[in-house]
Amino acid sequence: MFCSQCGRSLSSDARFCPNCGRAAGQAAAQPAVAPPPVQPVQEQVLYVFSASRKYSLFKMVPCYIVFMQDKAVLAYTTPALQKAENERLTQEIKAQGKGFFKGSAAMMSFWSTYGQKYYNMPVQAILAEDPTNALVPYAAVAEVYFRGYSETASSGDDSASVTQGKFRFKLAGGETLEFTHSSSARRDIHDLLTRLFGARLKFKR
């Protein structure tokens, strides 16, 4: 037989290896194997809500409110981000050899479904997309206000009365985040906000 440590030939009645001292028949120590790194669990996105953050009467920035179980992520489509995305998409369209009409259609389709990507993005990736993106922990929210967008046709002519949709986070620290939107007061939105905020929600149809 042979020593499991150094490989030296041993007699059949040897109790120890005369070369390295290891007990005969003792298995060589196996090198420690590091466990695989723990992959962070991606948090579930419950709903991506398209809106515009209202900073003042004349300053509004398109925004996606990414609702999760215990927080919302504000993902702003800033002018800088829009420019970068348009340039990237323009290069892709040119590389694919698309003409003006197909290129325009591709650009419109891209922006019409832009917010869907946030369903599959980790929180840190969303925050890293633009320096203005931010978290809103629900524990810091004192009140949530939602008013649905609506259009009411006027009798006797083709005009319509429009009620702009509004959404508002009132934070416990006193800050208020105001948004406008064009979503009606749908049942699924009402149910989601009620589940997340309970008595803190003021929902107006």
Q: DSSP per residue over 83-144, as a string?
A: HHHHHHHHHHHHHTT--HHHHHHHHHHHHHTGGGGGGGS-HHHHHHH-TT-EEEEGGGEEEE
pLDDT tens-place string over residues 126-171: 999 999 999 999 999 999 999 999 988 776 667 778 899 999 999 9
Q: In 10 A of CB 39, how many CB atoms?
A: 6
Greater pLDDT, 24 or 53: 53
pLDDT, residue 26, reads: 56
pLDDT tens-place string over residues 64-107: 999 999 999 999 999 999 999 999 999 999 898 888 888 899 88
Q: Domains in the chain, please, with CATH?
A: 48-204 (2.30.29.30)
Number of H helices, E strands in the chain: 4, 10
pLDDT tens-place string over residues 18-30: 767 677 665 555 5
pTM recorded for the entire structure:
0.75
CA distance 178 to 170: 8
pLDDT, residue 97, reads: 86
Give 117's contacts (C-beta < 8 A, 6+ positions apart). Answer: none
Instruction: Summarize the confidence of residues 31-58 as an average pLDDT.
Output: 81
